[in-house]
A = this chain, B = another copy of it.
Amino acid sequence: MSRHDPNDGRARLSRRQLLLGGAVAGVGAVAAAGADRILDPPAAVAAPEELNGTQTIAFHGSRQAGVDTPVQAHAAYFGLTLRPEVDRAALARLMRILTDDAARLTQGEPALADSEPELALVPARLTVTFGYGPEFVRRAGGPTPAWLAPLPAFTIDRLEPAWSGGDLLVHVAADDPITVAHASRMLLKDTRSFAELAWTQIGFRRAYGSEAHGVTMRNLFGQVDGTVNPTPETTDFDRVVWIDAPGSWLHNGTSLVIRRISLNLETWDRLDRSGREQSVGRTLANGAPLTGVNERDEPDFAATTPLGFPVIADFSHLRRARSDDPDERIFRRSYNYDLAGTGGAISDSGLIFGSYQRDVARQFTPIQRRLDELDLLNEWTTPIGSSVFALPPGCAPGGFIGEGILG
Taking Cβ atoms with an 8 Å cutoff, the residues of A that contact B are 1, 19-24, 26-27, 46, 48-49, 51-53, 73-74, 115-119, 122, 124, 175-179, 181-182, 184-185, 188-189, 192, 196-197, 199-202, 204-212, 214-215, 218, 220-222, 265, 268-269, 284-286, 294-295, 336, 338-341, 344, 346-347, 349
Copies of this protein, total: 2
A262–chain B nearest beta-carbon distance, Å: 15
The chain B residue sitting closest to A266, CB to CB, is: B189
CA distance A116 to B207 in the complex (A): 18
Q: Which residues of B contact A73 (CB under 8 A)?
A: 177, 207
Contact between B53 and A118 (Cβ–Cβ < 8 Å)? no
Contact of A23 among B116, B215, B221, B339 (CB under 8 A): B215
Given that A206-B53, A209-B52, A346-B197 are contacting pairs, would A1 and B340 also be in contact in the complex, using a CB cutoff of 8 Å?
no
Q: Which residues of B contact A199 (CB under 8 A)?
A: 340
A321–chain B nearest beta-carbon distance, Å: 21
Contact between B220 and A205 (Cβ–Cβ < 8 Å)? no
Given that A51-B210, A116-B222 are contacting pairs, would A349 and B215 also be in contact in the complex, using a CB cutoff of 8 Å?
no
Given that A51-B211, A185-B347 are contacting pairs, would A178 and B206 also be in contact in the complex, using a CB cutoff of 8 Å?
yes
The chain B residue sitting closest to A210, CB to CB, is: B53
Q: Offer 11 A-B interface pairs, CB within 8 angstroms, sorted by A.
A: A23-B215, A117-B222, A118-B284, A122-B210, A177-B205, A178-B206, A178-B220, A181-B336, A181-B347, A188-B346, A201-B340
The chain B residue sitting closest to A27, CB to CB, is: B212
Contact between B286 and A116 (Cβ–Cβ < 8 Å)? no
A112–chain B nearest beta-carbon distance, Å: 14
Given contacts A19-B286, A27-B212, 5 further A-B contacts (CB under 8 A): A23-B211, A23-B214, A51-B212, A176-B206, A208-B208
Contact between A269 and B189 (Cβ–Cβ < 8 Å)? yes
A2–chain B nearest beta-carbon distance, Å: 12
Given that A48-B49, A122-B211 are contacting pairs, would A204 and B177 also be in contact in the complex, using a CB cutoff of 8 Å?
yes
Q: Which residues of B contact A222 (CB under 8 A)?
A: 115-119
CA distance A47 to B103 in the complex (A): 33
CA distance A220 to B118 in the complex (A): 10
Q: Which residues of B contact A122 (CB under 8 A)?
A: 206, 210-211
Q: Which residues of B contact A265 (CB under 8 A)?
A: 185
CA distance A53 to B122 in the complex (A): 21
The chain B residue sitting closest to A122, CB to CB, is: B210
